[in-house]
Structure 1
Amino acid sequence: MYNEYNKIFWGIFIATFNIKLGAIKILPTFIGYIIILNGLSSLYKKTHIEPFNKSKTFAIIIIIITALSEFMEFSSIESNNLFLFNEIWIVFSSVIELLIFYNFFDGSIEYFNNNNICDLACETIKKLRFYIIVSVINIIFLNFALIFNITFLNIIIPIILIILRIYLIMLIYRFKNTSVEEIETK
């Protein structure tokens, strides 16, 4: 399980912190989501836990969304002409990301319960609730910012998003360490 969680860890890292060389992104966002998909696929193959499979489906959708976004950005398609489309696109991708990680955590909780790691399962349930609440609040703020062009929210939303991603990275790092401890005790 260490390798699977490690892939998801690095996928989130790459999806959050894009590496650019001048105007060209070396590791665009969709590459991070492809790595996440790879980790989710491996988790599903090893465990056959259905929420991991659902998470894979949403990961495929977000890969397509982010790849199209990168293509539009790279080909310099004028985003002013697609303003309403871009607003819907941003909100839709935020909801899809929430669904990816909800199902991922749901599958992880089921895995931990099946393997008698109940402390981590209970802790993950609490952290999942926090993640869902903050993500939904961020999506609501995003809608208000896009509809009413509220400058303050345009500053807060990316900060909340980065904090959520770091929160995810820390949780998955914990899952990786639990997998290593599990291997060492067997």
Structure 2
Amino acid sequence: MAKVEGPILLWVQNWLRQDWLDGPVTVFSTLGNAGMLWLVLCALMLIFPRTRRAGALGLAALAMGFLLCNGLLKPLLHRARPWLVVEGLTHLVTPGDTHSFPSGHTCAAFAAAWTWRRQLPRRWMGHIGMVAAVLMGLSRLYLGVHFPTDVLAGAIVGIFAAWIMGKILGTSRKRR
């Protein structure tokens, strides 16, 4: 798979990376370490009655996503990080572990965003979350720390985590 995905990452590195963009992308991606950005946003939602359910379900989805992604799949699959197997690829940050499949940052982002999309009182709020989740996944490619399939799998696992927690805890919500 690295033979197919490696050239994509090299193209991103050689054609899309820009010095002026490295800092902002790094900062945004770093905010996703351990799901911190999404955890903080969910916790803030607990303060307000209209967003409390979205915050609580978001925290549950984040926990489920973490268990599935970091507790089960990464240790089970042991896929090496791209810079370790793609010749000429450089990474802009060094993750805490050497396993890349699936992307934990992307999983957390999609677990929270999918929940918000279903639970927040205004549709546009969920759309902002989904855009942020897509940007998180793209940032992981830009930084050279994940293959495209890592990011795709992270998104799928995150959405699954949000869906399963919604089923377990209930998700009825009237949208406006």
TM over 0.5, yes or no? Answer: no
TM-score for the superposition, normalised by structure 2: 0.31
Higher share in helix: 1
TM-score for the superposition, normalised by structure 1: 0.30
Structure with bigger RCO (C-alpha 8 Å, 6+ apart): 2
